[in-house]
Structure 1
Amino acid sequence: MSTAPSGQPYRLLTVNNAPARAKLLIGRVTTNLADQYQIEHVGNCLSKDEVFEKVTELNPDIICCASMWTPEEAAEMHSIARSVKPEIKTHAIPQGLQVREGPDAIVAHLSEALPKLLA
């Protein structure tokens, strides 16, 4: 008997200039965490210019910046998101992780990081 996911369904917004890859990798993460959390990937921003509008429109619970962004860029995007929704949870994948270690490393990183963020 499997345990039901805890809490509400969480709405996740990504910031990734490769939206198909973001959708694929987040899909793998949500599958990994399905026994603990209901996570719905509600959308993607191609750049920081879309963050304000997408957070306003989609009302996500979490915003996650891909590893292509510098820590400063991710912090700016998180700040924009918090200006719309102060309680939004934020996460930035370490810069360069995708290039250095590939997509499996991203999935492993998020599968570990998101439960800590949501706890």
Structure 2
Amino acid sequence: MAPAGPYKLVTVNTAPERAFRLIGRVVEHFKDQYTIIHSANVDTIEGVRAKVEEVKPDVLFTASMWTPEESQRIIAIAKEIVPDLKTFSLPQGLQVQKGPDAVVDYIKENLPSLLDS
């Protein structure tokens, strides 16, 4: 069976290199199940609207440096442009407290239910 997708993903992360590296690990892990294209990273809340208008992603992730309120704001901006956007917010502080492997594991645990919903 062919992988589901393709899903265009935009991440909102103040450390773009880390975002691309970690999402690369997730994409590799799920390559037999899903085709995920990490289309872009935005490193500011102010940049979200323009990037979402440009890319029209299927999925948007907010990274663990954002507070829950900031993540909600980012998602609200993105959903104004793509109302049926699938969104995922990493718990605040996960990267700092538990490191990049914990971030990758958390995404792996939660991504199938998000994409299959």
TM-score by length of 2: 0.96
Report the 3-state secondary structure (helix = DSSP H, G, I; strand = E; otherwise coil) of the residue aligned with 1:40.
Answer: strand
Cα RMSD between the aligned structures?
A: 0.8
Q: Which runs of 5+ in 2 are unaligned?
A: none
Q: Deviations over 1:24-60 (max 9, x none)?
A: 0000000111111000000001011011000000111
C-alpha deviation, 1:73, in angstroms = 0.3
Per the normalisation by structure 1, the TM-score is: 0.95
Separation in 2 of the partners of 1:82 and 1:4?
29
Query: Which SS does the other structure have where 1:44 is aligned?
Result: strand
1: CA distance, partners of 2:113 / 2:26 = 14
Structure 1: gaps spanning 5 or more residues: none
Give 1:27's match in structure 2, choosing from 5, 24, 27: 24
Q: Which 4+ stretches in 1 moved above 4 angstroms?
A: none
- Equivalent position SS for 2:32: coil
